[in-house]
Amino acid sequence: MEALQSGNGTEEPTALRDDVRLILTQKVGMFRSGTDLEEALKQVRTLRERFSRLRPIDVNKVFNLDLIRTFEVEAMLELAEIITASALARKESRGAHVRLDFPQRDDEHFLKHTLAHYTPTGPKLDYSNVKITRYQPEARKY
């Protein structure tokens, strides 16, 4: 809270929020490519760096939408980095998420859950096995 209150930068939390929304919409939507994901990851990391240069934030505790929105933007930036890094690492198309450069499913390498762990340098990705119960996985055929 003290760091937010004593910010000496000029960055507006709402501008960062708008920028991350635009990046995710344009480059990390349903139809993705490795090139777009790499560019999006670079841009999101730049936004996270810009977040460290926020203008001073009012930290009054009663009805403080500025403070709430600042916390939300910080969380959005963290999640945007996790989503983008995870999508970039998954070199396949599955379900509603299509990698234009990898149009097929790859159950051999990617029939698993993606787990992200926090590190100071960004998300560390790990994977866990999918427990297959009654129904065997198969490609969608519409």
This prediction has a pTM of 0.89
Those residues with Cβ within 8 angstroms of residue 11's Cβ, 6 or more apart along the chain or in another chain: 50, 51, 53, 54, 55
pLDDT of residue 123: 94
Q: Is 80 helix (H, G, I), strand (E, B) or coil?
A: helix
Cα Rg of the chain, angstroms: 18
pLDDT of residue 103: 93
pLDDT of residue 71: 92
pLDDT of residue 42: 98
Q: Is 74 helix (H, G, I), strand (E, B) or coil?
A: helix
pLDDT of residue 76: 97
**Domains identified in the chain and CATH numbers:** 2-108 (1.20.58.100)
Give 10-residue mean pLDDT values along the chain (142 residues): 81 95 96 97 97 88 86 95 96 90 93 93 94 87 72
